[in-house]
């Protein structure tokens, strides 16, 4: 009688670039750092069993007991992992099974290294001839990649034209207001603030991706749909979809780095000082200088950031003018 073949693993490798993976970075952003504990524990349970694990009603309690986190939070993290592609959502919806292409590829590689027999009798997501790549993992071709990089470079050099502004009314009575250019805006900040599970960072990221609530923006349309029916999905999925559209060039919005220059001005300066600084930083050179100055302010020791920025930007402007006269 032959020996039973051991399916589970005693260990699995932990990639040194684990925290650089875009999916892990999103998981941490949407569910905070403790979500990594839940995900790592699930990986341990999966590899101990082989290359997949069946989900049942007791599992949230077991994970809660082992991590100290609430069962509701455990379930939220799992939903987030499924939405991000860390586990196969299609297989989970059909079979209540937690696994992924990456998990199975890693399992196969470890078995090969250990010269162990490796069989995928159930829930196989990889073929023997080639490894299928999901649409999320599929690499962009070089032409697409080059175009996206060129766009990013242009955005970095030239500050986009829709920074956070005071033109959007905070009056909760009227959800749509108008800017001086007659462009209509939707008051995203007031509508999202206070919603369960939505942080202040989420609000500002939504503002960035929706061009401050511009009615003609794709982002504003998606966010309004979610506000009308929050049960359609978790809000982070809306943010995730907009970020993907930004990466793929389907929407063009201010870069994260540039946008939060304006957020800093809005949150830390008087309206008069912020307006004056914004006039200076319409010049791309002064905009880059402003970013350096803000980094200096964040180190501490500067009690009047508005006066500091205006003084330094004025000096920089004078220096540029002198050079132009030569």
Q: Could you read off the pLDDT of 209-245 as tens digits, one per residue?
A: 999 888 889 999 999 999 998 888 888 888 888 888 8
| Residue in the structure block whose two tokens are 């540039």 | 258
128 in a domain, yes or no? no
pLDDT surpasses 70 at 133: no
Structural domain count, the chain:
3
Reduced to 3 states (helix: H, G, I; strand: E, B; else coil), residue 165 is: coil
State which residues form the domain around 92: 18-113
- Find the helix or strand (DSSP H, E) in which 176 lies: strand 176-178
318 in a domain, yes or no? yes
Provide mean pLDDT across the span 188-195.
89
254 in a domain, yes or no? no
Domain endpoint, select from 217, 247, 277: 247
Task: Report the alpha-carbon distance of residue 80 to residue 27 in Å, rounded.
Answer: 7
| Cβ neighbours of residue 243 closer than 8 Å, sequence gap 6 or more | 209
Claim to verify: residue 234 and residue 290 sit in the same structural domain = no
pLDDT of residue 5: 54
Claim to verify: residue 24 and residue 100 sit in the same structural domain = yes
Domain endpoint, select from 247, 281, 297: 247
Nearest to 158 by CA among 312, 288, 321, 293: 288
4 in a domain, yes or no? no
Claim to verify: residue 243 and residue 147 sit in the same structural domain = yes
131 in a domain, yes or no? no
157 in a domain, yes or no? yes
pLDDT tens string 249-272: 888 888 888 888 888 888 899 989
Provide mean pLDDT across the span 57-86.
90
Q: Do residues 164 and 259 lie in contact, with contact meaning Cβ atoms separated by under 8 Å?
A: yes
pLDDT surpasses 80 at 193: yes
pLDDT surpasses 60 at 97: yes
pTM for the model stands at 0.44
Domain endpoint, select from 57, 92, 113: 113
Structure-block tokens of residue 134: 């999901």
Claim to verify: residue 170 and residue 223 sit in the same structural domain = yes
Claim to verify: residue 239 and residue 278 sit in the same structural domain = no
Provide mean pLDDT across the span 161-172.
44
DSSP annotation of 158 reads S
pLDDT of residue 35: 92
């Amino acid at each position: 009688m032959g020996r039973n073949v051991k399916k589970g693993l005693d260990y699995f490798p932990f990639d040194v670039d684990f925290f650089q993976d875009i999916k892990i970075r999103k998981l941490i952003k949407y569910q905070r750092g403790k979500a990594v504990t839940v995900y790592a524990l699930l990986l341990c349970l999966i590899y101990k069993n082989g290359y997949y694990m069946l989900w049942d009603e007791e599992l949230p309690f077991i994970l809660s007991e082992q991590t100290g986190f609430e069962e509701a939070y455990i379930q939220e993290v799992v939903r987030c992992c499924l939405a991000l592609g860390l586990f196969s959502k299609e297989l989970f919806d059909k079979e209540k099974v937690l696994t992924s292409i990456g998990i199975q590829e890693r399992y196969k590689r470890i078995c090969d290294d250990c010269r162990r027999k490796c069989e995928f009798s159930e829930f196989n997501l990889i073929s023997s001839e080639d490894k299928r790549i999901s649409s999320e993992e599929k690499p962009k071709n070089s032409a697409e990649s080059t175009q996206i990089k060129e766009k990013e470079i242009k955005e970095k050099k030239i500050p986009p034209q829709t920074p956070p502004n005071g033109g959007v009314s905070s009056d909760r009575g009227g959800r749509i207001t108008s800017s001086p250019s007659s462009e209509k805006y939707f008051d995203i900040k007031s509508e999202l603030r206070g919603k369960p599970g939505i942080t202040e960072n989420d609000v500002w990221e939504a503002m960035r991706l929706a061009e401050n609530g511009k009615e003609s923006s794709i982002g504003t349309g998606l966010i309004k749909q979610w506000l009308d029916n929050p049960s359609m999905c978790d809000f982070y999925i809306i943010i995730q979809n907009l970020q993907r559209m930004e990466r793929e060039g389907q929407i063009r919005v201010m870069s994260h780095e540039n946008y939060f220059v304006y957020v800093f001005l809005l949150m830390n300066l008087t309206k008069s000082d912020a307006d004056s600084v914004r006039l200076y930083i319409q010049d791309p050179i002064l905009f880059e200088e402003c970013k350096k100055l803000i980094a200096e302010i964040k180190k501490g020791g500067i009690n009047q950031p508005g006066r500091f920025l205006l003084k330094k930007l004025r000096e920089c402007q004078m220096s540029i003018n002198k050079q132009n006269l030569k």
